[in-house]
Amino acid sequence: MGSTVRSFEQDIQSGSIEYSILLQAIPSGLRDSLIQGTLAHDFVKGKDVHGKELEERGKYAGIYAVGVAIEGRDGAFINTKECTKVAEILDTYAKAYELLAAAENENSPVPADAQQVIDDALKLDQACGYTHQGPMLHYLDDSGQVVNKEYLEMLAGSFWKRGIALGRLGCDETINMHQGPLYVGSTTMPIAECLVQHHYDSNMSAIPSTNKFLSLTLGALRVIGLRPYTVEVPILPIWVMEHLPIGERLVTVLASSFITQRGFNGAQASSRAGTGISTALCDEAGLYVAEKTRYFKQNLEKTMLVIDDLNHETEGVEDLERRFRLILDAELEKRVKLTKMEQGRLEYEPKLLEDMKEVLQQRLRRTRERYEVAAAQYAFNSTYVKLLRSITRRLGLNDDTTHVSTGGMPPE
């Protein structure tokens, strides 16, 4: 899916308008069915109404989709219990591949406890119309076997998720989902001729193997006792050769048809170059789309109305955007100035603190020096008074007549 999406994005980024044109060539109802995943159900319900138009579209090369429905359900798919059963069968098939591959790699017989898993997997082969008893399973015995196994596990996981979703919605076994997995393909021959290769109904002895995951799903539905059939729908006629890969990418993305999206497609879309379409077929398709369909013209008219409405509703937006830009630029300039001021303050404050620290240290040094002088003076005066009193006593003088100042704090 990643490769297809990247190609899709590159086309749009390069300014390609093909997607816009090709979208107009798909009826809006059909486009909605693709996006909602209800193509098979909607096709069966509306076949009487749109059958002739679909038959006309099948005469040209282009893009198609294949879904699955169950007989007797008016185009609906399966219920929550059946989802679980199909998931278990597909998981068993993938597990059997692992066991057979391990035995083949080790050149040893299959363990006895694994034989039942392999027998159950072979029942799926038989349901698809293959009765051989070879060393490997029919659908997982080619060069892509490991990738196929991983994709098959993803497909089984998608059925588990469908069953869980139905349960959370409160659907019991009497309610069959309208959504189902799709396979999307492209062809350089008339679509109707290609769809014959994908067609299957319950009266056929073997299921076509044009897509492994679609075929195995049909077989699993047969194993649990249902009568499935394919629903083949021409989606998009191609009138320009180079549009074939672009159209396939478009429809594949609309339909969410990759294995990783609960669909049947396991390979990148748009692998065909589109050079095999005959010029005559392209010319006929172009004439059909432009002049013989109603929906192409209707889609174009709706699109033009939407564009006109959008232009009207957004009139003056460019001027508003310019004004908002000026406001935002002024606000940004203001914030830059405030940021610079804040930065200056942050740079100034450490210097200021350092200066204050120096001043305080100088004051502390002067204060300490004054007290040291005062202490020395006090010590001197005290000694001097003691000496003077000693002399007066020896001379017989009265202590009261002796007045000596011990001195106070020396002036600054």
Does residue 18 register a pLDDT over 50? yes
Q: Where are the alpha helices (DSSP H) in 169-294?
A: 191-198, 212-223, 243-255, 279-287
- Find the distance separating the first CA and the last CA of the chain, reported in whole Å: 90
| Cα–Cα dist 285/292, whole Å | 10
Both 203 and 290 in one domain: the answer is yes
Structure tokens at 259: 């294995």
Instruction: Give the number of other Cβ atoms within 10 Å of residue 237's Cβ.
Output: 29
Residue 141 inside a domain? The answer is yes
For the chain, how many structural domains are there in total?
Answer: 2
Does residue 10 register a pLDDT over 70? yes
- For strand 183-187 and strand 62-70, is the pairing parallel, antiparallel, or unpaired? antiparallel
| Cα–Cα dist 187/61, whole Å | 6
| Cα–Cα dist 141/133, whole Å | 13
Q: What is the mean pLDDT of residues 383-394?
A: 68
Instruction: Give the pLDDT confidence of 341-366 residue by residue, as tens digits.
Output: 766 666 666 666 676 667 777 777 77
Residue 408 inside a domain? The answer is no
Q: Which domain-ending residue is among 258, 278, 312? A: 312
Instruction: Give the pLDDT confidence of 186-212 residue by residue, as tens digits.
Output: 999 999 999 999 999 988 989 998 888
Both 334 and 204 in one domain: the answer is no
Residue 412 inside a domain? The answer is no
pLDDT band at 99 (very low <50, low <70, confident <90, very high): confident
- pLDDT of 1: 58
Both 136 and 264 in one domain: the answer is yes
Residue 406 inside a domain? The answer is no
Tell me the C-alpha to C-alpha distance, in Å, between residue 148 and each of 41, 155, 163, 212, 255: 28, 10, 23, 8, 21
Tell me the C-alpha to C-alpha distance, in Å, between residue 101 and each of 92, 106, 141, 144, 146: 14, 9, 10, 13, 10
Choose the most confident range, by mean pLDDT, from 141-150, 153-162, 338-347, 358-367.
153-162
Of how many residues is the chain composed? 412
Host domain of residue 346: 318-400
β strands within 218-357, DSSP E: 228-237
Residue 409 inside a domain? The answer is no
**Average pLDDT in the chain:** 81
Both 206 and 294 in one domain: the answer is yes
pLDDT band at 327 (very low <50, low <70, confident <90, very high): low
Structure tokens at 237: 């006629």
Q: What is the mean pLDDT of residues 112-125?
A: 86
- Which helix (H) or strand (E) segment is 186 a member of? strand 183-187
Closest C-alpha to 233, from 52, 58, 28, 60: 58
What residue has token string 């009139």? 315
Both 287 and 386 in one domain: the answer is no
Both 225 and 362 in one domain: the answer is no
Contact in structure between 317 and 275 (CB atoms under 8 Å): no
